[in-house]
Chains A and B, each alone.
Chain A
Amino acid sequence: MHYDVRSRERGVSIEMNAKIAAEDAGPAIQFQDVTYGLDGRVPHTIVNNIRFSVASGQTLILLGRSGSGKTTLLKLINRLLVPTVGQVIVRGRLTTDWDPIRLRRGLGYVIQDAGLFPHFTVAENIALVPSLEKWDAARTTARVSELLSLVGLEPAQYCKRRPHELSGGQRQRVGVARALAADPPILLMDEPFGALDPVTRAELQREFSALARRLRKTIVFVTHDLREALLLASRIILLENGRIIADCSPQEFPRIDHPEVHAFTACLTPLPGALE
């Protein structure tokens, strides 16, 4: 399987991206000294004094162990959470100033279990945001087939299926297609390939890496898998206990001298003698 997009459609996508890039000249996302505590309280903080910004078109990987606060950062971007201290700016506007509905419709979101609606067909799932945005039927249908081809699923074959008739990998492909439906400039991904078997995972990672390069969207991608991070990242932020440990390019990452970095790079070394 590979991404099969006809040239006409590719032309449209690049045009739209160019337009979006012009609108959002500044950083796509900025965290300004953000602290988030449970129940809005400072003593129970999950993330502390987070400051970084994501340039348009960048693929930022938030790397860390479970509980390091990476998902929390993602949810602060689409205002599923609101900072206790500090502020998050998305496309030039504070998340608290955005109408949350408008903000989220401009942010594609992909999660680990895909979160597809079981009572919707594949086509209806992908058409979710277009239907909320009241696109006409012809435009929606065209967009759905375009996206299915883009994620490597034959439109005629998969349109009418329900999520439970798909494999885990196929569900995740549909999840990516749904997130891209209304062509949002920013994609948020929370361990999207985490629940897949290793072979399917590797396949989707490779395909997504090619797709991401072509779409040129701003991507914030949460993972605990350094291999995945190195494959996809244009930049890696390593988190530990809600604090930023490292903020660097994937090339620099392995050279950083910090115990948590060593802990992650140690996972990359193959078992001694395993593959000889």
Chain B
Amino acid sequence: MTPWTFFLEHRAEILEATVTHLTLVIIAMAFAIAIGVPLGMFIVHRPALRNLALGLASIFQTIPSLALFGFLIPIPFIGGIGRRTAIVALVLYALLPILRNTYVGLTGIDPAVLEAAEAMGMTQSQILWRVRLPLARAVILAGIRTATIITIGVTTIAAAIGAGGLGTFIFRGVAMVSDAVILAGAIPAALLAIAADLLLGLLERRLKIT
């Protein structure tokens, strides 16, 4: 069985897995952005909280992904087998690049610009919304782009805890010792990652301010 014939025979199944995969990624990214960006904005003027938040997010990032999925299973409410657990793990995983880039983007602004803003009589919240955020958006988007690519990869492992997606083929292929089956999961996942990278890269360039 060549990879190509396997692909043709199972194309409906592969398409369905791709849709599931993409859905998991989109849901996880939506949560990660909804948590990471506001949290990044919140810690700009709170150094103690900043270290705690960035530290925690870094710790999640260092846990091997398979282990993180495993750790979450016994936890009540968020744990168990299936999609919900997978999404929680994916969010924790995607958080660091988004949080860090939001923070770095908001704080890495030309001090002369911030000094002028303050001296002109802008309030801290006006400075945040009208100066820091617009100037940081390309950096924030770069973080979202990194997180999206990581998440597309890590989602393949979510199949191990029954969340479905393209990882299903990879795990099945490993068990069957079949390259064809592994590739049926791996190639679409790689293509998704490349497509996401290109699209978000394009958007990032458009947001960049010279």
Q: Chain A residues in contact with chain B, CB under 8 A?
A: 78, 80, 100-105, 107, 109, 111-119, 128-129, 132, 162, 164, 178, 188
Q: B116 contacts A115, CB within 8 Å?
A: yes
Q: Report the bound CA distance from A129 to B122 in whole Å.
A: 8
Q: A116 contacts B113, CB within 8 Å?
A: yes
CB 8 Å contact bits of B128-152 with A (1 = contact, 0 = none): 0001001100000000000000000
Q: Report the bound CA distance from A101 to B125 in whole Å.
A: 12
Count chain B CB atoms within 10 A of each CB in A111, A129, A178 and give the residue with the most: A111
Given A118-B135, A119-B209, A132-B126, A80 contacting B118 (CB threshold 8 A):
yes
**Total CB contacts across the A-B interface at under 8 A:** 62
Chain B residue at smallest Cβ distance from A165: B210
Told that A104-B118, A115-B116 touch, could you supply 16 new A-B pairs with CB distance under 8 A? A78-B119, A80-B115, A101-B121, A101-B123, A102-B121, A103-B121, A104-B121, A107-B119, A109-B119, A111-B115, A112-B112, A115-B115, A116-B116, A117-B135, A118-B210, A132-B122
Whether B120 is near chain A, meaning CB under 8 Å from some CB there, is yes
Q: A119 contacts B135, CB within 8 Å?
A: yes
Q: Report the bound CA distance from A113 to B120 in whole Å.
A: 15
Given A101-B123, A111-B112, A119 contacting B134 (CB threshold 8 A):
yes
CB 8 Å contact bits of B30-50 with A (1 = contact, 0 = none): 000000000000000000000
Please name 17 pairs of A and B residues whose Cβ atoms are closer than 8 Å in the assembled complex, sorted by A.
A80-B119, A104-B119, A111-B112, A111-B119, A113-B110, A115-B110, A115-B113, A115-B117, A116-B116, A117-B113, A118-B110, A118-B135, A118-B209, A119-B135, A132-B122, A162-B210, A188-B119
Given A104-B121, A119-B209, A109 contacting B135 (CB threshold 8 A):
no
List the A side residues contacting B119 at CB < 8 Å.
Answer: 78, 80, 104, 107, 109, 111, 188
Q: Report the bound CA distance from A113 to B112 in whole Å.
A: 7
Interface size (B, Cβ < 8 Å)?
A: 18
Given A109-B116, A111-B116, A112-B112, A117 contacting B131 (CB threshold 8 A):
yes
Q: Chain B residues in contact with chain A, CB under 8 A?
A: 110, 112-113, 115-123, 126, 131, 134-135, 209-210
Partner of B210, one of A112, A132, A164: A164
Judged by DSSP, the binding face of A is mixed
List the B side residues contacting A115 at CB < 8 Å.
Answer: 110, 112-113, 115-117
Chain A residue at smallest Cβ distance from B131: A117
List the B side residues contacting A119 at CB < 8 Å.
Answer: 134-135, 209
Closest 9 interchain pairs by CB? A115-B116, A104-B121, A105-B121, A115-B112, A109-B119, A113-B112, A119-B134, A101-B121, A119-B209
Q: Report the bound CA distance from A107 to B120 in whole Å.
A: 8
Chain A residue at smallest Cβ distance from B113: A115
Chain A residue at smallest Cβ distance from B210: A164
> B105 → chain A, closest Cβ, in Å?
13
Q: Report the bound CA distance from A164 to B113 in whole Å.
A: 13
